[in-house]
Structure 1
Amino acid sequence: MTDHARQLDAHYDAPAERDGQSLTARLRVAFREAGCDPDRLTLDEVAGIDQLHLGGRRASRSLAALGRLAPGSRVLDAGCGTGGASRLLAAEFGAQVTGLDITAAFVEVAGWLSRATGLADRTSFLCADAAHTPLADGTFDAVWCQHALMNMPDIAAVLAEWRRLLVPGGTLLLHEVVAGDAPSPLRLPVPWARRVETSHLRSRHALEALLAEGGFAPLVVQDVTESALAWRRKHRRREGDGTPPGPALPGPALIFGEAFATMGRNLCDNLAADRVRILEGVWRKA
């Protein structure tokens, strides 16, 4: 395991380092306590732990529509986390999806949740670095990435790998956090980093320049910060009232630990202060 992978493991599976219980084990217990069978789950029941990005499923649907994903498309979900976008693309858009993540705990959970929701035949998951995969050239029609580039220090190597994996004319679909224009430093911790050394935010200009240098031509790019901030504020109010409707289904606090509430507040403040912005876009392999 590389130092980079160890840092991400420590961030995204922090409770496991403290109590030794795997993420899968913690989540299975939580589903049972919520009255669910952990081996037979619905996509609604797992939504709280499988869309670990701003906007949740709505943002994933928006990106898929923007990218005009066709049924049968072969998609690489890079930085797939617990596999929520992979399952959504398979269930709602008819895609065949390979999820890839460097965090082993996420890959294990992703496979379990796909089996539990009946989507194992249309999704598969691989633990690997996005910059170095064992996959063959020209395997995918599209590469999908939501809120993961800010965890990837060598973006040039990542883009070269994605270009290799795409068919000629293949597309890259991104929903990403970028640095804003505010001169004040990022307020930490945030959902992707606890320390400044593990956050690899780039400005929109820098990201677009890297994409161009990497052989990707923009088709449509839009700033969706305002809608992302509205979504985050809505969820902040819901998290703060202490009385969620219905059973207490597992949520992201089981993944990030006690720091999650602070991460959510800081993310909201960073968005409002223009320390970070959110981009949604589609690029084509040139």
Structure 2
Amino acid sequence: MTDHVSDHDARVLNDHYDALATGSGESLMARLRAAFHDAGCNPDHLTLDEVAGIDQLHLGGRAASRSLAALGALRPDQRVLDVGCGTGGASRLVATEAGCQVVGVDITAAFIEVAEWLSAATGLTQRTRFVCADAARTSLPDGAFDVIWCQHALMNMPDMAGVLEEWRRLLVPGGRVLLHEVVAGDNPEALALPVPWARTTATSHLMGREALQVSLAEAGFVPVSVRDVTETALAWRQKHVRREAGVEKDARLPGPALIFGAEFAEMGRNLRDNLAADKVRILEGVWRMA
């Protein structure tokens, strides 16, 4: 088996995604609970609409998750593993809208703590659960899932071979992988940083589309439907850059700046510019385990 994420890599990721806790000493969950309280919401009884601003930390938001779920033709009887689940938004969406049972896994402990709280606050603890683990070594049982779901997480995973090997172990025969991922574009110039997944190159492990598909093929995953959705993602990001520059600063409900900090607006602009310059592209697809 290939090496899994090192303790150093795990610390780098935690430092990136939970940077505000390091600076302030206040946990992510404490900050978010206080923000919901200040917005006039009960932090222990929230709606999915109220938490949408902090639980869909990927390009396209809920629309992108719905598009991936439709492409993957999810069924209510399926067991789904949400890899790199973050604060659990896609897990809750798949549980409520597709009727699946979902387990989310993420290496960032603060995200798992928040995901568990938000599922309890939205009444979804019976249909979602969350595990803090390295995606390449989860300790979940063999053949426990019908579907692997992964949105904007592979670019934080240095050991792609180990991750795909783990997916093969976790899937039932003929199981499927659903991806909505950032890949390297054709422009070889350096990324404008910071971006939401990386402040420095230390946390960015982008692969090109072709390299990703080769890795999947070598691991025994056969493409079913794959499409480039960069233009849709760019339009969404452009809209949100305008919103973040104006209306969002007065928004009532908590948004991603509470997770990423004051740099979030710059991260969003850089991501827009990287997309527009073809330094990154967005891939959506379904693969089946041969």
Instruction: Flag whether TM exceeds 0.5 (same fold).
Output: yes
Which of 68, 79, 101 is equivalent to 1:63? Answer: 68
Question: Any idea what the Cα deviations from partners look like across 1:253-282, whole Å, max 9, x if unmatched?
Answer: 110111111100000000000000000000
Which of 91, 96, 103 is equivalent to 1:91? Answer: 96
Offset at residue 197 of structure 1 (A) = 2.1
Which of 259, 268, 272 is equivalent to 1:268? Answer: 272
Which of 32, 38, 45 is equivalent to 1:40? Answer: 45
Please give the alpha-carbon distance, in whole angstroms, between the structure 1 residues aligned to 2:235 and 2:184. 18
Counterpart mapping for 1:1-286 below 5 A: 2-242=7-247, 248-286=252-290
Please give the alpha-carbon distance, in whole angstroms, between the structure 1 residues aligned to 2:215 and 2:30. 40
Give the letter for the 1:285 counterpart.
Answer: M
Question: Any idea what the Cα deviations from partners look like across 1:117-147, whole Å, max 9, x if unmatched?
Answer: 0011000000000000111110000000000
Give the letter for the 2:23 counterpart.
Answer: R
Please give the alpha-carbon distance, in whole angstroms, between the structure 1 residues aligned to 2:268 and 2:259. 13
Offset at residue 243 of structure 1 (A) = 5.7
Offset at residue 207 of structure 1 (A) = 0.3
| Gap regions ≥5 residues in structure 2 | 1-5
Please give the alpha-carbon distance, in whole angstroms, between the structure 2 residues aligned to 1:137 and 1:74. 13
Please give the alpha-carbon distance, in whole angstroms, between the structure 1 residues aligned to 2:84 and 2:249. 29
CA contact (8 A) 2:12 2:202 kept: no
How many residue pairs match? The answer is 285
| Gap regions ≥5 residues in structure 1 | none
CA contact (8 A) 2:155 2:204 kept: yes
Give the letter for the 1:278 counterpart.
Answer: I
Q: Please report the TM-score for the alignment, with normalisation by the length of structure 2.
A: 0.97
Please give the alpha-carbon distance, in whole angstroms, between the structure 1 residues aligned to 2:176 and 2:199. 32
Offset at residue 198 of structure 1 (A) = 1.5
- Percent identical among aligned pairs is 71
Aligned structure 1 segments of 4 or more residues deviating by more than 6 angstroms: none
Offset at residue 244 of structure 1 (A) = 6.4
CA contact (8 A) 2:80 2:146 kept: yes
Q: Please report the TM-score for the alignment, with normalisation by the length of structure 1.
A: 0.98
Offset at residue 13 of structure 1 (A) = 0.7
Offset at residue 173 of structure 1 (A) = 0.2
SS at structure 1 position matched to 2:187:
coil
Offset at residue 2 of structure 1 (A) = 1.0
Please give the alpha-carbon distance, in whole angstroms, between the structure 2 residues aligned to 1:7 and 1:213. 29
SS at structure 2 position matched to 1:58:
helix
Q: What does residue 3 of structure 2 align with?
A: none
Please give the alpha-carbon distance, in whole angstroms, between the structure 1 residues aligned to 2:139 and 2:38. 39
Please give the alpha-carbon distance, in whole angstroms, between the structure 1 residues aligned to 2:196 and 2:275. 13
